[in-house]
Amino acid sequence: MAYLRGFGCCLPSRVVDNPELGALVGVDPAWILRATGIEQRRYAAPEDTVASLGAKAGADCLQAAGLRAGDVGLLIAASGSGERRFPGPAAAIGRALGMGGVPAIDLPMASAGSLFGMSLAARLSRDYGNVLVVASEIMSRVVRCTPAGRDTAILFGDGAGACLVSAESGFAEIADSLLCSDGEFGGALRLDLDSPVHMEGRTIILQSARKIPRTILELLQRNQLQPANVDTFLMHQANLNLIVRVAQALSVSESRFFRNIARYGNTSSASMLIAATEWRRERGQLAGPVVFAAFGAGLHWGALLAT
Amino acid sequence: MENQTLIQTRIVELIRTVAGKPVNPSPGESLFESGLLDSFTLTDLVAAIESEFSIRIPDSDLTPRKFDSVARIQSYIQSKS
């Protein structure tokens, strides 16, 4: 058994709205909103790092979970925008949180990294007890805020999220999860060395609009549930139009999908945990099954059921 | 094999439905470059093609190149028949 015990997040203070970004990339701010559902995003300060944002999210999560750093047996840190090839940010996040000596695993995985981290944490918590999952991204440094980089610059923002998975107690049990990967379209969304992020948006939307609902349905069906039984869907905040398409494919109201993409944009692996943090603060106790879902570069995708 | 003109007519009708406009693209016209489709209406078009022509499009075929024009869509549909 594994439980969700708390969420946390860190959002940089600098707000970049569509008028500011639109002027840089040469598009109408209203078009950005129509195409993405995003009104503004946050950009990290020059002194911020993926690890420093991740550590702040981790501290926020520990506080929400009512735990101390010494209570954590394992740290998993996901990021697709780390500043260097190695080491990844996991050990630095652990160090900043006062977890020196606690094993820290890097998941160099954008977008779906937090979901994979949660799923792994649920399994590893049997051996490690409390597992802190952190996802942190500084995407503003891997996009080009120029007309040439328009299609990615309008989407991405910076931030970090965290989740505490406990083997002992929490507000919801992680009942099941389903993870998938397929490298066939791995080149369609990638961050090469010394290059800005590359995204073939049409391919990614085609693939995600098919794979996300199918995976959610498979997860629900093997747990004898239907989409209508789910109280809340917490999905990677990639694009509002994609979230709407997934809701339509599942024949559930869009209102079942928690959304904060308008305020933060797509923060890659961090987005689902930032959304979960705000959802938990707004909603308090669990009112029914919750489905987490994510899709991203790899391609990696999956879903997780909490009850 | 079904008359090619009839297939094209059915494809154009699907494009009109998902685009929400009375468009009439030429067979070789890029549906993306001309602005008739975007990423999301493309997903709608793919679903509409599956339903209209009773075919299943596997994930491996879900690339925009295959659906970039009426002619390419027609070619793909005929390859599945």
Question: Per-residue pLDDT tens for A122-158?
Answer: 999 999 999 999 999 999 999 999 999 999 999 999 9
- Please check whether residue A286 is in contact with residue A231, taking contact to mean a CB–CB distance below 8 angstroms: yes
The minimal CB distance from B43 to the residues A35, A182, A206 is found for A206
A203 to chain B, closest Cα gap in Å: 5
pLDDT at A165: 98
Numbers of helices and strands, H then E, in chain B: 3, 0
The count of CB pairs under 8 A between chains A and B is 38
Give the start-to-end residue ranges of the domains of chain A. 3-166, 172-306
Nearest CA-CA distance, residue B32 and chain A, Å: 10
Tens digit of each residue's pLDDT (9 = 90 or more) over A23-34: 999 999 999 999
Alpha carbon dihedral A261, A267, A99, A60, in 10-degree steps, equals: -20
Q: Look at B8 and A160; give whichever has higher pLDDT.
A: A160
Band (pLDDT 50/70/90 cuts) for residue B5 is confident
Say what the pLDDT of residue B2 is. Answer: 61
Say yes or no for a CB contact (<8 Å) between B64 and A206: yes
Give me the pLDDT at residue B3, please.
77
Domain A3-166 and domain A172-306, same fold? Reply is yes
| CA triple A146-A152-A156, angle to 5 deg | 110
Give A3-166's CATH code, choosing from 3.30.950.10, 3.10.450.50, 3.40.50.2300, 3.40.47.10. Answer: 3.40.47.10
Higher pLDDT, B24 or A240: A240
pTM: 0.95
- Looking at the complex, does the CB of residue A236 fall below 8 Å from at least one CB of chain B? no
Q: How much of chain B, in percent, has pLDDT values that exceed 70?
A: 98
Confidence bin at B35 (pLDDT 50/70/90): confident
Alpha carbon of B51 to those of A244, B10, B40, B65: distances in Å? 20, 12, 17, 20
**Which chain B residues are within 8 Å of A242, Cβ to Cβ?**
40
A172-306 is classed CATH 3.40.47.10: yes
Which ranges of chain A have pLDDT less than 70? Answer: none
Taking the Cβ of residue B27 and every Cβ of chain A, the question of whether any pair is shorter than 8 Å is answered with no
Question: What domains are there in chain B, each with its CATH number?
Answer: 4-80 (1.10.1200.10)
Question: Could you give the C-alpha distances from A119 to A75, A124, A152, B39, in angstroms and in order?
Answer: 13, 9, 28, 30
The B residues from 28 to 47 touching A (CB cutoff 8 Å) are 32, 38-40, 42-43, 46
Nearest-Cα residue of chain B relative to residue A203: B63
Averaged pLDDT for residues B43-68: 94
